[in-house]
């Protein structure tokens, strides 16, 4: 779910542009942030744990000078939340040095790691992203060919920005699991996870990076190659539409906010309820709640005030942190809620932690009835391509029938959006999506034994776990 950003602009403050781009992508990852710049081929990188505004300030940005920059906000799916896994990571290879930021999740990382180790390549993190950087850094072929060669060996989800040899590189897996777009500020090129990042830095959207395409940008302009044949059909993660992407983002030409409104309208037709008030779980549930209200005529109102200085509880790295975040995140408005039959519209219920706590809060605020409506189908299957719910035993809908879920959550009723209705609301064909978390039909092979912390456990057993520095330096220069 991470966010990536890159810019090639000789006459602009690329580190500051990247900072603003990352700020607009903060919702995609809140564990760490980083920026790497290239100044006439010399790489300088800064990364650290925390939000973008915690990692960077004026002084640090001033030290990141160059004509090319890439940035990353991390949400961990392979390798834990620790400094050594923060990105952009830097790999010194026999052929070149590569700085790289990765959004996605490889499913053949273990095999590639073993091959690299056998070839004498040292890997210091427990992130699958380092494997990608190492393949490119140790390939003696020209840069674009080295990227293409690496792509032909990678399985899984990857949308990537990288710096090497004074060039900006971007490439995307042949399934297109994660979004990646190209934009321009006059003659300068920008790459980002979402179009909202282009908007914030004043870039005009040009096109998406195609599935299986590799792009290299330097002072001569943009060159690309179809490194891997795109899969048919595609496999854009549908999670992007109802939860992950910002509502002002365009995905495959479709505005996310409009799609979420249509999800709410369809949800109202599929799961009507007699109530006094429709309210969202902000922020990603708000458009669907508006659509539900429009379709039913039930008044809409904000009933929960969100502390927007608390991050997304779903993407906290551990369950205890999720619980802590929930206690701080929302506060109900009793004057709005008391004595009302309330319809609460949420974008998803995955583990049930958030939904159950919210029902308790609304009852305490005086709601006479609480009806939960969810703008996606029940999550029953693991994701192996970059969303952090790999264990089906932690998925509420996998463990309980629908009537038991409502009882467990303490709700008077519960309704989910049908899968076909979800897809129709996006305006795109069903065969353009990965829907595996709902229907169990996986578009790419995977190893079911892999999980987020497998490399930490493996290295701990082997006694080779990479040690973090005593004082974690976030700034380092590289020749």
Domain ranges (residues) in the chain:
3-231+465-469, 253-431
Domain 253-431's class?
alpha beta
Burial class (CB in 10 A: 0-12, 13-18, 19+), 143: buried
Q: Is 47 helix (H, G, I), strand (E, B) or coil?
A: strand
Residue 399 CB neighbours (<10 A): 14
Which strand (E) or helix (H) includes residue 414?
A: strand 413-416
Buried b (16+ CB within 10 A) or exposed e, 425-460: bbebeeebbbbbbbeeebbbebeeebebebbbeeee
Check whether domain 3-231+465-469 has CATH 3.40.50.360, yes or no: no
- Residue 434's alpha-carbon distances to 30, 351, 382, 401, in angstroms, are 24, 20, 12, 24
Instruction: Say how far apart CA 220 and CA 242 lie, in whole Å.
Output: 39
Known catalytic residues? 2
Residue 185 CB neighbours (<10 A): 16
Instruction: Say how far apart CA 182 and CA 215 lie, in whole Å.
Output: 10
Instruction: Say how far apart CA 294 and CA 291 lie, in whole Å.
Output: 5
Instruction: Say how far apart CA 262 and CA 264 lie, in whole Å.
Output: 5
pLDDT by residue for the chain (479 residues), tens digit each? 799 999 999 999 999 999 999 999 999 999 999 999 999 999 999 999 999 999 999 999 999 999 999 999 988 655 455 777 899 999 999 999 999 999 999 999 999 999 999 999 989 888 899 999 999 999 999 999 999 999 999 999 999 999 999 999 999 999 999 999 999 999 999 999 999 999 999 999 999 999 999 999 999 999 999 999 999 889 999 999 999 999 999 999 999 999 999 999 999 999 999 999 999 998 889 999 999 999 999 999 999 988 766 554 445 455 555 445 555 678 899 999 999 999 999 999 988 888 898 999 999 999 999 999 999 999 999 988 988 776 888 899 999 998 899 999 999 999 999 999 999 999 999 999 999 999 999 998 887 766 544 444 444 555 544 444 433 433 433 43
pTM of the model: 0.89
């Amino acid at each position: 779910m991470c966010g990536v950003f890159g810019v090639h602009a000789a006459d602009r403050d690329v580190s500051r542009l990247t900072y603003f781009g990352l700020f607009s992508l903060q919702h995609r990852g809140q564990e760490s942030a980083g920026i790497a710049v290239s100044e006439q081929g010399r790489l300088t990188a800064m990364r650290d744990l925390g939000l973008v505004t915690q990692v960077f300030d004026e002084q640090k940005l001033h030290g990141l000078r160059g004509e090319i920059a890439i940035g990353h906000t991390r949400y961990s799916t392979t390798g834990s939340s620790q400094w050594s896994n923060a990105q952009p990571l830097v790999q010194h290879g026999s052929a070149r040095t590569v700085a790289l930021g990765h959004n996605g999740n490889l499913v053949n990382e273990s095999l590639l790691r073993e091959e690299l180790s056998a070839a004498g390549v040292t890997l210091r993190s427990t992130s699958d992203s380092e494997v990608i950087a190492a393949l490119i850094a140790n390939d003696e072929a020209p840069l674009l060919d080295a990227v293409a060669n690496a792509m032909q060996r990678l399985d899984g989800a990857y949308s990537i920005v990288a710096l090497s040899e004074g060039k900006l590189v971007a490439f995307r897996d042949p399934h297109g699991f994660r979004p990646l777009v190209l934009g321009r500020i006059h003659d300068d090129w920008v790459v980002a996870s979402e179009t909202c990042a282009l908007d914030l830095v004043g870039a005009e959207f040009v096109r998406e990076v195609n599935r299986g395409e590799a792009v290299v940008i330097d002072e001569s302009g943009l060159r690309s190659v179809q490194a891997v044949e795109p899969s048919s059909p595609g496999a854009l993660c549908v999670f992007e539409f109802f939860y992950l992407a910002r509502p002002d983002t365009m995905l495959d030409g479709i505005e996310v906010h409009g799609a979420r409104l249509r999800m709410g309208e369809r949800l109202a037709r599929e799961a009507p309820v007699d109530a006094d008030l429709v309210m969202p779980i902000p922020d990603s549930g708000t458009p669907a709640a508006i659509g539900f209200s429009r379709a039913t005529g039930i008044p809409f109102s904000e009933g929960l005030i969100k502390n927007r200085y608390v991050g997304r509880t779903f993407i906290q790295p551990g369950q205890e942190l999720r619980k802590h975040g929930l206690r701080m995140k929302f506060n109900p408005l009793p004057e709005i809620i008391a004595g009302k039959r309330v319809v609460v519209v949420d974008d998803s219920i995955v583990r049930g932690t958030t939904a159950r706590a919210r029902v308790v809060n609304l009852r305490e605020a005086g709601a006479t009835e609480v009806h939960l409506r969810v703008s996606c189908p029940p999550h029953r299957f693991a994701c192996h391509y970059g969303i952090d719910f790999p264990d089906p035993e932690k998925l509420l809908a996998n463990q309980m029938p629908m009537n038991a879920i409502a009882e467990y959550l303490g709700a008077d009723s519960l309704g989910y959006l049908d899968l076909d209705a979800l897809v129709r609301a996006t305006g795109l064909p069903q065969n353009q999506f990965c829907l595996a978390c709902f229907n169990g039909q996986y578009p790419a092979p995977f190893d079911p034994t892999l999980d987020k912390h497998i490399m930490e456990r493996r290295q701990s057993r082997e006694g080779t776990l990479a040690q973090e520095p005593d004082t974690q330096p976030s700034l380092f220069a590289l020749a």
